[in-house]
Structure 1
């Protein structure tokens, strides 16, 4: 019996995402309502609504972070970047005490932050997700090593 999730699986900070999207929506609605309540011209109202849209867009970008594991590897979607890694490229999954998110140690000697697994609001979920991803990486690495040797 395996504790590993079935692929494909997406890891994301659910509570953080809900807070960010809710806050962005509230900001947009409040700024748009103010634009409608004030005695403004059409251009000024439009600028308020566009400002509200920007106030929603920023947290929406922060909320899009995720880590997607599938048969081909892991795709890390951070705030301004997306990177696909093959299973063999990931040497270790780290979430140490005090880390703001998971770090992936890669075969090229670098480390990649994976913001989709972060202990911010829900530490237990982040720990469970980090363990699940670590298990997948270890299983895929062992599987590949066995295949390469035989």
Structure 2
């Protein structure tokens, strides 16, 4: 992308200080809160029901722990920007990108999360910026990441 095609966003007045972490805080709080609540409820139920055998109690607690683990995994996504590049942590994967590898940051209406268009012609989903519960925050985070990419990417890409 040429330097003429890169436009500065007037809504992003200053760049965030590095390192900066973008993550869906409200979604994360809901997932972790629900997971902890399910674990506690299932554990309490297993301990309060007198007719359960030790194996059944263990299965209740194990099920609660499993549900908590799944919701913790779903709350994992984040995007971390530092001086040398961006780390995209998704549910089951993590990828480190140099600033020069990122050509464009996009969050179109209806997109479930930000997409990073890369210099190799591929696109990488960045689940750490998602407009699910907090759309305004996701848009602001996407603009901030876009401004960082524009400021840190060598001109001529």
Q: What TM-score do you get using the length of structure 1 for normalisation?
A: 0.92
Unaligned runs of at least 5 residues, structure 1: none
Q: Does 2:155 correspond to 1:145? A: yes
Superposition pairs for residues 1-150 of structure 1, below 5 Å?
3-38=14-49, 39-141=51-153, 144-145=154-155
State the Cα distance separating 1:29 from its structure 2 match: 0.7
Residue by residue, what CA displacement relative to the aligned partner does 1:69-119 show, whole Å, maximum 9, x if unpaired?
001100000001000000000000000000000000001111000000000
How many equivalent residue pairs?
143
Cα distance between partner residues in 2 of 1:64 and 1:55:
14
SS at match of 1:98: coil
Q: What TM-score do you get using the length of structure 2 for normalisation?
A: 0.88
Unaligned runs of at least 5 residues, structure 2: 1-12
For the aligned residue pairs, the C-alpha RMSD in angstroms reads: 1.1
Which structure is higher in helix share?
1
Cα distance between partner residues in 1 of 2:70 and 2:96:
24
